[in-house]
Amino acid sequence: MPSHFRGVYKFFALSILSTSWFKLQWERLPGHADDFPLQSRIYHFVCLATIAAMLYVLFYSISVQMVAYALVTAILIPLQIFLFYMSLFRNRTALSMKIYILIIHGFFFVGYRLGAGIAGSTLLSFCIVYFLSMSILPRKEYALLTIVNLGTVAALLVAEFNDPGFVLARFTDRSEHFIDIASTYAVNIILMLVGLGFILRNYTQERDKAEERAMLLDDLHEEKARLISVISHDYHTPLTALKNYLNVLEKYELSGDELRTLTTEMRHSIVNTQSLLKNLLDMTKEATEPADTANRTTFPVLHTVDQTLKVYADIARSTGQALNVTIPEKLVINSNPHLFAIVIRNLINNAVKFSGPDAIICFSYEDQNPDHLFCIADSGPGIPDLKQKEITESWEHTHRNVSRSGAMGLVLARKYAAALGGQLSFETEVGKGTTFTLKIPRN
């Protein structure tokens, strides 16, 4: 092949290497960040870069009729692909790396003898070999890599100096010499550019992930502190009430009305504590068995929440509240009855707990095809703006299990409403009450 045709061929090959399609494939092939550590992904990239460089050497050797060089390259390409396979699919990255270092130095050792020796471009290739090898090895092995690389180059130079016949092939003309040097230099520069770009880009991604994990950890610590505070407060209240109750019984003679009042307060406190305990157990279960809609079944609504309605109707009655239920007796829906019951329990508990004395609480249903619409409305004081914001923020941060206001039940209700494939929302007006709406799809 004439020299000027070889120059056109090399220019075309370098153009292909720099196309966006080729870069896109190289970004995908090294593996996903969730599946491989950064060092493994860099090694996979180096394997791909080496395969691409060997393909270039193969076609160039054929074009200049360097048959022996082309044959060696053709033998090593499948071996290099196998090393890539070992690391990517067999998780033998460390072994694959060591074999790669030996093979790539051996390849260019042979290339030096078949590629015009010191007059050729192989010494430039040893520089890119050193760069690629250094990018995949741990720092503690840099010294050994440097000794191997410099020792190999020194051995080749000494061998050729002492015996010019050590080099088996020479350039036939000056144009071939210049084309070989120029193209190899260009390939090395492109490989270093793309390689550094890959390393820096992935390093930046890893750094960003580390920062995100640190922020998430801070949020989890904050949530843990809030959760402990809520638990401490909610468990302290019934224990204190029980202690005071026992002290009163010990010191005073109580009338029947006074005894009933104290007993009602104790029962109310215990029900709230039981609700907190159930939520904690549900959160623990969610951590080991994430909520989903896999256990969908057809169930009667009133039967599913019957126990909840009885308990909270008694609590509401004891504080002068009224719990009105306007759910059709024969209403049947297809969903997860366990999750549905948890959502309704928390919404009714929230209404009874915060709507105040003499409030009216309504649990109603509306058929809004294609959805079921359940509403828990109260005529209480409403939710202040600050607490509305805190509830909304806790709903937006899905990793939280408790809001800044301590509304653990509302956060859990929101999560389980989403697990049912539905939506939970609320409307409130200060002084006029609050309405929570649960929308569940029919199918």
Q: What is the pLDDT of residues 328-346, one digit of tens each?
A: 989 999 998 888 988 998 8
Residue 229 pLDDT > 70: no
Element (H, E) at 152: helix 142-162
Nearest Cα neighbor of 33 from 198, 179, 190 is 198
Q: What is the pLDDT of residues 336-389, one digit of tens each?
A: 888 898 899 889 988 988 888 889 999 999 988 889 999 999 999 998 888 888
Number of Cβ atoms within 10 Å of the Cβ of 167 = 19
What is residue 5's predicted lDDT score, i.e. its pLDDT? 42
Number of Cβ atoms within 10 Å of the Cβ of 94 = 12
Element (H, E) at 426: strand 423-429
Range with the poorest average pLDDT among 16-20, 52-56, 108-112, 295-299: 16-20
Number of alpha helices (DSSP H) and beta strands (DSSP E) in the chain: 14, 7
What is residue 12's predicted lDDT score, i.e. its pLDDT? 47
Q: What is the pLDDT of residues 258-285, one digit of tens each?
A: 777 667 666 666 766 666 666 666 656 6
What is residue 289's predicted lDDT score, i.e. its pLDDT? 52
Q: How far is residue 439's CA from residue 420's CA, in Å, rounded to a whole number?
A: 9
Q: What is the pLDDT of residues 289-325, one digit of tens each?
A: 555 545 788 999 999 998 888 888 877 887 888 999 9
Q: Look-up: residue for tokens 């004891």?
A: 318
The pTM of the whole model exceeds 0.85: no
Domains in the chain with CATH codes: 3-216 (no CATH), 268-441 (3.30.565.10)
Element (H, E) at 335: strand 332-335
Range with the poorest average pLDDT among 120-134, 160-174, 206-220: 206-220
**Which three-class secondary structure state does DSSP give residue 27?**
helix
Residue 252 pLDDT > 90: no
**Which three-class secondary structure state does DSSP give residue 437?**
strand
